Structure 1
Amino acid sequence: MPRAAKEKPAAAKKEKKVKDPNAPKKPLGAYMWFCKDMRESVKKENPGMSVTEIGKRLGELWKEVSEEDKKKYLKQAEEDKERYNKESAAYNKEKSKEKEKAAEEEDNSEEDE
């Protein structure tokens, strides 16, 4: 029997949620700010390293960073979170206005019929 005939049908895949390009970008955590800051220097020190190895090295470096030095990145993360919250509130407010307007137009079109 052919191999394909024995295989079970694939489970229905969930449709990928379409992301609004106008939506605010999610905030970065302290570790991600650290990685962003250190990635280039790690690459320069180790030019032959793969992306995976660089990630592992960054993780090792993060563990070695003192709490005092981490405060810089924690502050950046907090500021980024505040930025996100402001942008998100403005975005959601705008989105709700659009929904209200669409609902209003739909009500008006139903009344015309």
Structure 2
Amino acid sequence: MSRHLLHLLRQGRKLTVVAGYDRPLRELYLHVIHDNDADPHQEEAFVYDSLGDPGLDWSDINTVADKLATLGIEPPASLIEGIFLDQCFNVGNRVVEHHFDRPSVVLHAG
């Protein structure tokens, strides 16, 4: 499973986008998580989880892009492109952190 990470601040809330390609399922996934720095003992709260939207076509990269847009998140192009390439080349075990102000960083490629 590939993982593409993006940390951002939206409406005063710290969010983390975790998205990628699940090779065994041959599907894409998307999680948007509210990071709770105020209380480190409290669990992260999901703002969005693609598992809760099984009616969408998670084999289409446009589903990820459209859902992010619906949530008011405009990711760097590298995030959508990276996920799409993982899907095209059936990539797993890859972790990439994306940034708005600098190039993405591959944290793990296996």
Give the shorter-chain TM-score range: under 0.3
TM-score (norm 2): 0.27
Structure having the higher Rg: 1
Q: Which fold has the larger relative contact order, with Cα–Cα distance below 8 Å and residues 6 or more apart in sequence?
A: 1
Q: Which has the higher strand share?
A: 2
